[in-house]
C-alpha cells in the first residue's frame, strides 16, 4: 500500500488541486475587520481579492435527547486572495489560513510559497499554535491524456484501490460507480482520509471522460507549535507521496513521464 521509491516530478502530473490548511484557535480580530495589513504584505503575489460569507453547519443542541434541536450559526467571513491568473489562492478566516493551487509542480515550490504567506501572517496575528495541520492532494488520472485508452484500470492502479474492479470477472464498462474510502492512522500523529475510484470532473458537464480519482486528505491534530510546523508538513507530504506511489503501477508511472528529483 505504501511505496518508498525515489521522488519524481511527472511531466503529465495527475494533480488537479493541492490544499494546505492550518487551523488555529479563533482570532476575533480577523473576522471583525478586513485584513488590510495582511493584504498589503502579500498583494504583490496575490493582487486579486474577494470576500466570501461561509455559512457553518447548524450546531446540534440536546444531542442525547429524542428531539435534538438545531441552532443556526452566524456566517463566517472568508477573505480570499488570488494570483493574477487565479491559479493560486490564500484563504483567511478567524479560524484558519489555507494555501491552494491548481498548478502544483513539486513540493519545494508549494512549501516555499506557503512559507512566504505564513511569514507575513504569523507576525500580524500571532497564533498561539495550530490545532490542525492538513495537506490534501486531489489526483485525476486520465487515460485519454496519457494515450492509454486501451488499458484497463487494473493495469494502471494497484488492486488495493480498485475495489471490485480488481476482480478479473468484472467488466469495468458495466460499472456506474466504484470507490474505496479509507481512514487510518499512519504514525507520528498523522492520519489519512483517502477516497479512490471512478469519477467525472465538474459533474461531467464539460469533460465526459471517466477518470480515476485519488483524493488524499492527510492531517495532524493537536497543539502544533511554530518550530514543529516544518517537520509536520514534511511528514504529511512524505506520507502522501508514499501513498500515491504505492497506488500506481509501473506502467502508469512510466506513462506520466517521471523525472527523478534529487
Handedness of CA 24, 112, 196, 247 (dihedral sign): negative
Please, are residues 125 and 194 in contact by the beta-carbon 8 Å criterion? no
Residue 5's pLDDT band (cuts 50, 70, 90)? low
**Cα 79 from Cα 31, distance rounded (Å):** 9
The confidence band for 2, taking pLDDT boundaries of 50, 70 and 90, is low
Q: How far from chain centre, in Å, is Cα 55?
A: 21
pLDDT band, residue 4 (cuts 50/70/90)? low
pLDDT band for position 177 (cuts 50, 70, 90): confident
Which whole number is the average pLDDT over 91-114? 97
Helical axes 107-125 vs 229-247, angle rounded to 10°: 150
User: Whole-angstrom Cα distance, residue 132 to residue 218?
Assistant: 10
The mean per-residue pLDDT over the stretch 149-161 comes to 95
| CA 257 from centroid of its chain's CA atoms | 23
What pTM, to 2 d.p., does this model score?
0.92
Cα-to-chain-centroid distance, residue 237: 11
Q: How far apart are CA 167 and CA 154, in angstroms?
A: 9
**Average pLDDT of the segment spanning 69-78:** 86
Strand ranges (E), the chain: 8-10, 15-23, 48-54, 59-61, 69-71, 76-82, 88-92, 96-101, 130-141, 179-187, 190-199, 211-224, 258-260
Amino acid at each position: 500500500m505504501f511505496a518508498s521509491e525515489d521522488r519524481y516530478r511527472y511531466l503529465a502530473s495527475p494533480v488537479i488541486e493541492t490544499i494546505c490548511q492550518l487551523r488555529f484557535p479563533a482570532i476575533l480580530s480577523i473576522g471583525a475587520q478586513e485584513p488590510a495589513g495582511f493584504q498589503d504584505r502579500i498583494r504583490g503575489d496575490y493582487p486579486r481579492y474577494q470576500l466570501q460569507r461561509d455559512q457553518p453547519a447548524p450546531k446540534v443542541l440536546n444531542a442525547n435527547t429524542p428531539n435534538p434541536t438545531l441552532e443556526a450559526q452566524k456566517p463566517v467571513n472568508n477573505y480570499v486572495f488570488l494570483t493574477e491568473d487565479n491559479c493560486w489562492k490564500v484563504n483567511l478566516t478567524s479560524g484558519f489560513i489555507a494555501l491552494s493551487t491548481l498548478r502544483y509542480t513539486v513540493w519545494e515550490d508549494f512549501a516555499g510559497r506557503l512559507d512566504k504567506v505564513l511569514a507575513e501572517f504569523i507576525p500580524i496575528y500571532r497564533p498561539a499554535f495550530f490545532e490542525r495541520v492538513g495537506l490534501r492532494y486531489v489526483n485525476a488520472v486520465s487515460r485519454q491524456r496519457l494515450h492509454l485508452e486501451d488499458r484497463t484500470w487494473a493495469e494502471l492502479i494497484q488492486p488495493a484501490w480498485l475495489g471490485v474492479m480488481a476482480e478479473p470477472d468484472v467488466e469495468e464498462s458495466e460499472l456506474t460507480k466504484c470507490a474505496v474510502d479509507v481512514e487510518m492512522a499512519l504514525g507520528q500523529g498523522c492520519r489519512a482520509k483517502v477516497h479512490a475510484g471512478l469519477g467525472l470532473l465538474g459533474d461531467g458537464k464539460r469533460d465526459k471522460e471517466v477518470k480515476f480519482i485519488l483524493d488524499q486528505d492527510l492531517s495532524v491534530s493537536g497543539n502544533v507549535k511554530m518550530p514543529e510546523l516544518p517537520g509536520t508538513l514534511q511528514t504529511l507530504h512524505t506520507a502522501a507521496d508514499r501513498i500515491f506511489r504505492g497506488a500506481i503501477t509501473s506502467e502508469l508511472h512510466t506513462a506520466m513521464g517521471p523525472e527523478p528529483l534529487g
